[in-house]
Each structure stands twice: as structure tokens, then as C-alpha cells.
Chain A
Amino acid sequence: MARIRHGAVDSIRLTAVLAALLLAATPGYAQHAPLDDAPPVWFADDRLPVPVPEFAEPGLVPYAFNSFLGRPLSRFFHPGRLVRNLDDGYPGRPAADVNCLDEVVASSWFTPRLGMRRLDDRELVAGPALDSPGIDGPDRSAPWRVVGAKTAGVTPGFRIRDARGDTWLLKFDPPEHPGMTIRSGVVTNLLFHAMGFNTPVDRLVIFDRDDLVVDEGVTMNLGRGIEIPLTEANLDSVLTSTRSVFPDGYHALASRYLRGVPLGPFDDQGRRRDDPNDLILHQNRRQLRALKVFGAWVNHFDIKMHNSLDMYEGEPGRGHVVHYLIDFASTLGSFGDESVKRFGFEYGVDVLPVAGRTLTLGLFEDDWISQERPPGLSEVGLFDVAHFEPAAWKPDLPHSAVADLNRADGYWAAKIIAAFDDRQLRLLVEQGCYQDASAVDYLARTLAGRRDKIVAHWFDQVPPLDYFRPVDEGLAFDDLAVEYGHADPATSVYRYRWARADANRDTGDWTDWRETSERVFRLDDPTSDHEREFLTVEYRVVRDGREGPTAKVHQARASGRIVGIDR
């Protein structure tokens, strides 16, 4: 059965690719940039002074309408995506914010951190508060002044101002699940910061009632446009309703207001037209596409645009826009008032599973229905390893950037996740101040298990050979699967061949395939082709006798630089 289906798909792919080739006589199908013997780019020049853009925040429903209907339909019929999808199973164009080494460059969106370099414990735990006074949360030298409150929505919250003058949002758990979302929010904030995203300072704070005083003239938003004065008495009642009282005091997530001018969330598709620095379609940004992998890891199903925020930093007219991800409360299996098993497995409206269930008359059950919360751990939601399938993970709302993720994007994200070791994961989970040590054990273990599944999947999509460097004998590299303990070096063999290439990647004659178990491609000059200035090595990994996919690395003959990696 499987053979027949694959055969049919292969035929369709072949036909479609041939048709596309015939239709358009396609130079540069793969859309790789020409090879250039120059140092790699590591920084995007996207902090030019710009005027302050307008604040813009579309409503959730219009955004959801577009995300569920308009954008998926548009993507489905897009001929370019169709051809690419038939060609290699990934419809997105190559990411545009990467350098020739296939790494995401530093920008106002992203800063390479873990995976690119080592982070010590202090830096991991401090996250965005590193070397700032907010590392321990709001200043405690004086009571926190409550300057705003809301009771509408799933959970109540307060805006407080500390003695340093910083404004923080105090967020609580839904009353049904005290201690769940605030802790996951803190932990995942630190995980995402370590990955390289811009995030606000989110801290778990423990405080007493005496730590809060109500400012004069503060009102409380009750929803439906109703506001009443906030008094000490109704502050008491709101605090009681949160049920966030633990033996050592109230627990809350304190999120520091970002500095600068808020501009509203950034969309997962298109560009911000009034920001001249925003030159790459957001769906072509690898770090946004990779939210599929990062989101899958922590089950951050709520990666909608409203959980992002653009901030204008600097003096008006002399500053620039910085892009943040915010609000990580709905992660690690946490949820609002109800545990929802579908999250992470299906979109809010997912046509294919619905059609499947309709046509099969309910005879089959979805696997994810059998998920259960870990017994006895009230602070942990639906989060496990057994049901997790990295490739099948979906956010609640279809996400345009996630939809364009390709194998190179997925591999890049996976190698960042692989860089978190078990000890670091436990250290970060501990920052959630879980009351039950078993919860820390469980979450750290589950994160590690999901990490391993992600790595196993994405390191199987491309050969996980990286960090190529010229050596006397040829080209040395690291096998990340071996390095991170996901593959046995004893059963790993590297097959490769090479050829001279020009800047457009047109190659001369290829050598025969060679095999080695060392992490060096031994290259001798095979031809007298002196016109082509680059050397292209094609390689694949054979593990336990199974041959994996192929990739290419390009080296400049003159300088020895690595000038391109095609995954």
C-alpha cells in the first residue's frame, strides 16, 4: 500500500517538476545566491534610524479569519509553493535572513545564542534581564504601587510600579489551576531567550499582601466597558479570587514593560510597511518559520501574532523597531480554564482531520485523545513525550511563517534545541518555582524527551554535519548527531564526492563517491579545471547501514573559506 502511494506521489512530483521546467525554462530553480569568496555576513543592517511607525493591532477575529481561510487558500493554490512542495516536500522558498553558512544572522529580530555559543548558567537564568536590575523581578525596596487592574478575561492582573520606576504586569493563574501558567510562562520565556529571540523580562514573584498599595485614582476594568475605582478592599477580593496563594505568599508572573514605544504585534506574513528596515517578508524569516520546531518543543500552540510585540527603541526619529515574542503562559501543557487535548495536534479549524473523521464515520480515534495529565502534578498540564510527533505538530492558528518551514530551517532550529543539555533544562525549569519537586523532574525529563524526538526527526531530514572548516587534508566538520549523543560514531559513515564549481554552482566532473568514518572529507584536486574557482562537496551520512539525504558544501579554492551550504 505504502509503495503504491509513494510511487504515485513520485510520478506526480516528476510530472509537476517537468511541467514547471517546461513552462518556465527555469534557471536558478533552487534560488540559491551565487557563491562569493567573501567573509560571511553575521549582522543584518536593520537598525537604521526610522520615524516612529503607527501603532497597529488587528482584532483577533479578523486575524483568525485570515489565518484559517484566506491565507491557507492562497498558499494552497500558489504555484511556486506547489512546485516546491512536489519537488522535495517543503513548499517554502529558502529563508532570506541566513548567511552563506546557513545560519540566521543577528538582527532586530534575533540574536544567535545557545547553539551558536555556550551560555553559562548565570546567563541562561538571567535571560533578558542579564546584568539589569530587573533580574530578581520588581524592586522590593518599597511596596509596589498598583496603577491598574483588570478582571476581564481568563485571569485577573495588575499593573504595578516599583521603586525603580519600572512598570510590571502581575499575572495570575486561572483559578482552576493555581500555579500552572505563571510557572510555564517564566520557564518558556527563558528557553526562548536562550534560543535567540527577544523576549521581555518575565519573573516568578512571591509576595505578601503588604507588598501592594493602591495608587490614587486607579480603576479596575470589569469588562463590557465597566470600570470601577480600585480600592484596597476590592484588591483583596481580586487577590482572593486568583487562588494563587501558596504557603509562602502570593505567586504571580511579573512581566516588565518593554522600554520604548509599543507599535502592536508583528504579523506572521508580509512586512511592516511603515518600517523601512523591515525588508524581508516575515514568512521568509527562518527564526519565525522555526517557531514550528521551537513551538513544538514546548507545545507553544498559541504563537499567533498577538503574542508578539514591536517596540520602537530610541529617540523618535533616531530609533528603530525591535521585534519581541511575548506571553509564553500557554506552554508546557498549560492552559487557561480547561485542558485541551487538541492543542499541538490540530489547528483550531483543521479541514483534513475533520474530513477524515467525517468520512470514516467515527470508527477511528485520534491518538492524542488518549493524552492524560501526569498524575499527582497539579502544576503540570498536558505535556508528554509519548504522543509528541515533531513533524506533525501544529499551532492553534495556522501561521504563515511556520507553513513555509523547510528542511534547512527545521534542521537549524533542531540544532539549537539539541544544544540544551539535561542539566540546563532542569536549571531553567527550576526558575518556575514549582512547589512540587516531582513537577520539575517531570518537566525537565519531558523537555529532554521531546528535544530528542525533535533532533531525531530533523537530523534525519538533512545530514547533520556542520561547522565545516578547512584543514590540510581537506574539509573537517562536526557531526552534531554524534556530538549531542543521538548517533553512534561507530556506526556512522560519511559518503562524499566533490567537483569544481563556478559561482552559479555549475559543476564540472564529479569524483567517485568515497566513504570515511573520520570527520574529515579528504579532498585532492581531481581535475585540471582551473576556471572554476569553487570546490563543491556533496555528502550524506550512512548510519547503521541506512543512507540519509544529501547536502552540499562549497569552498572557495583561493581563500579556503566555506562560502555556501545547500541543505
Chain B
Amino acid sequence: MRNRYAILVAMLASVVWTMSGPTSAVARPPATAPDSASVAASADTVTAWRWGPAPVPSVANTRVMRDRPQSDWEAALLGPYHLAGLPFRALHLIGDGTIDLLDSVGIFDLPPSDYRGFPGPWGTYVMPFFAVESLEGTKFGLNVTRPYFLGRENILFVTGDVSTHRSQKVGGGVLFGLGPHWDLQVGAGTEEVPAVRYYGLGHDSSEGDLSYYFRGSAWAGFELERNLGRGFGVVLRPYYSRLVTKESGYRTHQSLGKVHTDLMPPGFPGESAGWTFRFSLDRDTTGELARPSTGEFSTVGASPFLATDGSGVRFVKFHASTEHFVPLWHTGRTLAARGFFSRIANMGDEPIPFSRLETFTRPDVLRGFRDLRYYGVGSLGFTLEYRWPIWNARNRNGPGVDAYLFSDTGQVFEKTSDISYNNLELTGGCGLRVLGDGGGFSARVELGLSDEEPVLRFKFSQTFQYRPKVLLHGKDPTRRR
């Protein structure tokens, strides 16, 4: 077939056409278009186009091309379609307008940065945020990061927020990079939460005894971290803290004093102040921040506390946790296992204020229950989490979303003999983990189920590989491991 082509004719025709241009000025010689009739009339003619001689623009073969008219049946169906779609179109317009607005102020044009936020004054990065927390309500806040603070390796971080439930927090710290092996954090802050949950002490507290109290805290201290190599590190964190608990001015009908009139927890209402000297040995061989498929993430530590408020309270909190990651059948499928154990040994004669007792809070949680569901002098738990990637912006190990199923089992205890299979609480659930650029963890949304009310969480922290960076990030160290 191809040998029927005449290259020369084609080229000449295309050159003529290119030079003349198929414009609307069609006052050219009449058509010698590749008309099948003409092909039939000259079967032996060497043709240039597959359909015949190369055409030259003419009135006969040039036309204004338009969309074909819509069929009657389609036109009839489109009326109801447009009518029913009005609300969705309105929603879309709102979304579209919002995106356009953000685009017009250049938000999407910001180049990637090592630090979250918009460039602010004095070399800072400013990141507004909001969060929905079960205790604090909806929080609105601002994080300010200042790299190169008093030195190339140093970072200043300041955070502040207020919430719809009248909680407020101001905190911050400085990370001093002291070379390849040492890090030093100093930090301080204060936080008030008007409605903290309390159900009672021990593993047999009842969901129906839910109450609320006010918790205020203030802290200051430093943390020295030494990288020992091979994944090992030691951390020393001395800090001073002051805790105030009292009746809540919020949700007063369910205040702790009203619900637990007959059995008020030790130290309520009251104040507890003192020094904590936390020492821990860590081991991290995971290599990845958010989606490890192998390795171990473990810590063991002790935290002696000495009261300075004249109460004579002294105790030592022991804590150990270990996490292991096992790769499964396909890329990104991982089984994550975690166990933890905490125990407070009272070294004095005074009861330990309940605000310093063990409770289920990040990262030692039973996710089928609300945070702070149980208080005791000790806690233990075991978690299995199966993860698999469901969406990746680029590759399996990049930004994306993983789904997971989990099972958390554990209990709090007042004395070691309380630890029993019958007292273990079993919870489970599922969730989605959002992983950001560079594979770092961004957020998770999960549904926890137990024999109590289902719990829906949206968090910016992860249960595994929990790295509080407490003082630097202005977090209350009395509520963190």
C-alpha cells in the first residue's frame, strides 16, 4: 500500500498548503480534494494522502466546524440534571472560589520548605492551625518556628492556642544542636484545660461516673539527649512542674465534686509542685519516621519526683515500652506491635495526687476508650496494628494514606495483684494515617470500639514512634512519657 504514495507530491502539496495557510480566504482554485469519486475515476493515479491527492484548501473542502447539536433525548434529560445538581454546583462554586482565593494570594506557590508555615518576620515560619480535641473543643492557634536561632543548628519554637472550651496554652522552647551526638532542649509553658475527664480510680471505674475538673499546669526545664550510636540514645530531662486541680467552671453539672462526692481522689482539689528527673534509655532502629516496615523502637526509663510544695510527696515512675515492625506480604504491608508497662512506686508516706497518677494518654492508650478513661498507679497494654497503603501521591514510601486495623488490650492497676486476664480491656478499631512529604507522619483519623461509646479521633500524633519533643514543642511534660 505504501508504495502507492508519492512523496514528492505530498511534500509539494504540504509546502503549498503551509505557505498559503488554510485560512478563511478560500478564493482559491476549486477543489482537488481527496474525493473518493475522483479516486475512482483515476485508479492508477499516484495519491499523496491515504484518501486521495493531497487537498488544497477551497470553498468545497473548508468549513466552519461546530459542535453537533444535542439530541432531543439528551436535551430533555439535561433539564432535571441541571436542576438536581444546583446544590452540588453551589457547593462546588464555594470550594472553587475558596481555592481560587487561596491561589490568588499565592499560598500554593510557596516552595517546599524544611519548616511548616508561611515566611514571617525575622526569619520565622508562621503556621496557623486548628484542631478538634475531645477535652479542649475546637482549638485555634499559631506555631512559630525560627530556624538558625542564635546559631546554625538551633531552632526556636513557640506555640499558643485558645479553644471553644476556654482552654488556653502558651509554650515553647529552643533546640540547641550540640554536634552530631548531643541535643539540648530548654522549654517552658503553661496550660489550662477547664474540663478534664475523671471516671474514678482503678480498673473497675465506671463509664457512668464521668466527671470533669479544671487542670492547670506550668512547667520549665531542659532535656539533654545523647546519641550513643547503633540506635541507642539516653535522655535526661529535669523539669519543674506545678499542677492545679479544682472544680470545673465548665460542664458544672458533671463536675468531679458532684459526681464523686463520696470518693474524692487524693489531692483534689489542690496543687502539686515539684521536680521530676526523668532518665531514659532509648533504642530506635526503625530508620523511617512514619512507615517503618522493620526495626524496633523501645524505651525504658525512670522518673523520680520530689515535691517542693511542702506535701512531702515522693515517688518514682518506671516506664518501659517496646515496638516492633514486621514486613508482611506486599509492599508497605506491615504489622506493628507495641507493649508498654508503667508503675509508680511511692517512696513516701503521702498519697500521690491523682493528677500525677498513671492514666491512658498518648502514646499509652487503649484507643477504644477516651483518653484519661482510667487512672491508677500502674498501667500496661499491648497493641497490634496491621497497616497497608491505600493511596500514594508518588510511591509507596512517599506521601500518602495508609489504612490500618488495630487491637489494643490493657488495664490500669492499683497493685500488682490487680493485673489479671479478667481485668484486661479489649478494644479495637480502624483508621487512616496521613503521611506527609518526606515520609513524615502528618495526621490520623480513627474509630475506636470497645464496650463503651465509640471514639472517633483526629490527631496529629501517632501511637507508634511517638516522639513528643516535649519541651521544644511547648508540650506539658507531666502528661507525656
Residues of A within 8 A of B (CB): 20-21, 23-29, 31, 33, 38-48, 58-62, 65-66, 69-70, 73-74, 77-80, 83, 93-94, 96-97, 101, 103, 105-107, 112, 115-118, 120, 123, 152, 223-224, 279-281, 284, 320, 338-342, 348-350, 354, 357-358, 361-365, 369, 466-471, 478, 483, 559-562
Contacts and interface: CB of A to CB of B under 8 A. Distances in A.
B133 interface: no
Contact of B35 (A39, A45, A107): A39
Contact of A96 (B26, B39, B67): B67
B81 A77 contact: yes
A559 B37 contact: yes
B333 A103 contact: no
B216 interface: no
Nearest to B330: A365
A561 B103 contact: no
A180 B345 CA distance: 64
Nearest to B26: A45
A294 to B, nearest CB: 19
A41 B61 CA distance: 4
* Pairs of residues from A and B, 5 with the lowest C-beta to C-beta distance, nearest first: A362-B388, A24-B73, A26-B73, A79-B77, A59-B103
Contacts of B285: none
Given A29-B71, A338-B394, A117 B61 contact: no
Contact of B24 (A25, A48, A83, A361): A48
B60 interface: yes
B368 interface: no
Given A40-B35, A62-B100, A279 B64 contact: yes
A134 to B, nearest CB: 16
B36 A105 contact: no
Given A41-B62, A44-B64, A69-B92, A361 B405 contact: yes
Interface stretch (B44-52, B203-211, B406-414): B44-52
B159 to A, nearest CB: 24
B189 interface: no
B63 A117 contact: no
A561 B99 contact: no
Nearest to A470: B40
Interface in B42-79: 43, 48-51, 54-55, 57, 60-68, 70-74, 76-78
Interface size grouping (class) on chain B? 35 or more
A120 B70 CA distance: 42
Contacts of B109: 59
Centre residue among B55, B110, B398 by max chain A CB count within 10 A: B55
Given A28-B72, A59-B103, A470-B40, A118 B7 contact: yes
Centre residue among B71, B81, B85, B109 by max chain A CB count within 10 A: B71
A105 B55 CA distance: 11
A42 B96 contact: no
B5 A117 contact: yes
Contacts of B457: none
Given A39-B31, A43-B22, 8 more contacts: A45-B23, A45-B24, A80-B70, A284-B68, A342-B392, A357-B389, A362-B332, A470-B40
8 contacts: A42-B57, A338-B395, A354-B391, A365-B329, A365-B330, A369-B396, A467-B50, A560-B36
Contact of A42 (B33, B108, B329, B394): B33
